[in-house]
Amino acid sequence: MDTTLQDPSPAFGRGDPMVGQVLDGRYRVDGRIAVGGMATVYRAVDTRLDRVLALKVMHPTLAADVSFVDRFIREAKSIARLSHPNVVGVYDQGADGAYVYLAMEYIAGCTLRDVLRERGALQPRAALDILEPVLAALGAAHRAGFVHRDMKPENVLIGDDGRVKVADFGLVRAVDTVTNTTGTILGTVSYLAPEQIEHGTADTRVDVYACGVVLYEMLTGAKPHSGESPAQVLYQHLHEDVPPPSAVVPGLAVELDELVASATARNPEVRPHDAVALLGQARQARAALSLDQLDAVPPQARTAEHEPRDNSDDRTNVLPRSVRPVQLPLPMDGVQDQRDPQDQLNRTSILATPPPAPPAAPDRRRRASPRRGVLAIVAAVLLALGLGAGVWYINSGQFTKVPPLLAKTEPAAKKRLDEAGLDVKDVKRAYSDTDKRGTVMATDPKAGERIRDNGRVTLTVSMGPEIVKVPSLKGTALDEARSKLKDAGLAPGMTTKAFSDDVRKGSVISTDPDSGSKRKAGSAIAMVVSKGEAIDVPDVTGDSQADATLDLQDAGLKVKIATKRVHSEEDKGTVVDQSPREGEKQLAEGDTVTLTLSKGPEMIEVPDVEGMSVDDATQKLEDAGFEVDEDRGFLNLFGDTVKGQSVEGGDDAPKGSTITIKVR
């Protein structure tokens, strides 16, 4: 699949029915990023966590196919286990009706394919700067037991911040899983290793081969094998070595030729055994290059700007192991690629069995199959010793390998075992959140393990997710309710509190979902717990501390005295404020009310205003913080001089109190 996780153009995806939808009640689809053979990738927003992510949605026509759904689930589990900085992370996996999706890390940037189309061949330093983090990501996968199987420039993402990440583990397989298939191959034509084409087998070395092809493409701007049909490209993979990059770009260092040759050896036994080993070779090659060799500017003769580019083999394909082209299907999803005149070759191909392949060109190197030669010699020696096929039977003929049965229905698995000459020892059943009901989720021995002919295999068949009922918890104490949920196979979820007139404090009022509802085992159940009856807070301001405390305790509330006291007109030691105040909120029994006590009024010095005019005296007293009253007497209505004051100047009086001035 070509599932680039990058910024789409504003119009990209216009008219797509998914755009604007909210998937699974959580993921809002904002725009389409890319369309692949099995899925479409959208830019979306996780409305729950308010973050941008990439949503990879399987084409609804494929969602009914168990193998495709299993591949999606396998991709999510595999990447989640890797947790590597150079691997695109997976946040979530789920289904909404006909839509099966992965919620993935969103990378703003472009793919390596975009870079190659725009720039053509890269400088060796840039090529190695991209290759090394790719190999680090694949190395982590290989050491964790996985093979990517679909490495190509489309699956190498380059962020705007320069980070390199590997995407699209949709074809990932366990290293020890038998990957022989009957009749078809999954992969991308230009990057398939010879053993994938000829035998359908895939281990860590197929990723090494693909990385060698990608390195060749970065150094030269072109693929090592080309043709008018996938069949011609596959034939070259089988019969022709990848040429040295220096044959296309003269002056490239011999160390780079050797690195490409090592990674793309047609015999897998000659290749580095995994990406970690190839990463070591890449670093050795870098260390051997001079600055001039690392920064050599390649000629740009073979870029998309200078010649038509056929990217027919850039897409993931389903191919028979021996191939010839037949009529290709119409373009998927109505998406036309105007850049390529041979548009049909850009689509997923269905290829049939070919006529006998033409002989290889005489000037090409061709390696004989070492396996057939060795078998012929061994057979001759055994016959000469009179042992014949009996020795073969004793040493290996008594054994066979357990075929891959995961995701097969129970009848199909039993039939496959019977075809392999094996019996079913036992069928166990177990719950599973990821394996479809009635399908095989495990075998003992595991797929690929050797077992004697007529041996017996134990199948574990999925019963689907375990479904349990939510118990009735109303009136149950919180600790006991939590225990009952765990006993029922559920998990205690968020707890909120509410007032209740009929449920005692600390007991469950209700659950979400309601009792009797059916949920998957392990689901979280939210509970509302009683705070008891609601209590109206009485007003105790102006009361003494003792009286206020008694009134609040009689109401079932606790009392706390604030450490800081304040000046007020209230008498010292009386309540000047309370929190909460009367009518502000209702409290539950045992809740606390905080009281603030008065220090009494603040005492300040009274200014001396005798002899001043009435206006000046009034202004001075008010500025000091006092109220002013005039005493003019009956015969001095028009006087304007202060002859006395109720509090002598220099004495203290409560701030805000009234000072009377006598006017004569």
Can you tell me the distance from the alpha carbon of 411 to that of 350, in angstroms, rounded to the nearest whole number? 29
Q: Which of 2, 150, 168, 313 is catalytic?
A: 150
Report d(CA 416, CA 84) in Å as an integer.
Answer: 37
User: Quick check: bond before 492 cis, omega within 30?
Assistant: no
Contact (Cβ atoms closer than 8 angstroms) between residue 207 and residue 138: yes
- Please report how many Cα atoms fall inside a 13 Å half-sphere around the Cα of residue 15, on the Cβ side: 5
Report the alpha-carbon distance of residue 71 to residue 67 in Å, rounded.
6
Q: Give the closest residue to 18 by CA, choosing from 45, 57, 46, 65.
A: 57
d(CA 304, CA 313): 16
CA 635 to CA 631: how far, in whole Å? 11
**Strand positions, DSSP E, 112-227:** 146-147, 156-159, 164-166, 173-174, 185-188
Crossing angle of the two packed helices 124-143 and 275-288, in degrees rounded to 10: 160
Listed in sequence order, the residues at least 6 apart from 353 whose beta carbon sits closer than 8 Å to its beta carbon are 320, 322, 323, 324
The torsion region of residue 600 among left (phi > 0), alpha (psi -120 to 50) and beta comes to: left
Crossing angle between the packed helical segments 112-119 and 204-220, to the nearest 10 degrees = 30
- From CA 20, how far away is CA 561, in angstroms rounded? 56
**546 Rama sector, left if φ>0, alpha if ψ -120 to 50, beta otherwise:** alpha
**Residue 559 contacts residue 580 (beta carbons within 8 Å):** no
Rg for the chain, CA atoms, rounded: 41
* Annotation marks residue 150 as catalytic: yes
Amino acid at 278: L
C-alpha distances out from residue 138 to 29, 175, 188, 277, 624, Å: 30, 12, 17, 11, 81
Catalytic residues: 150
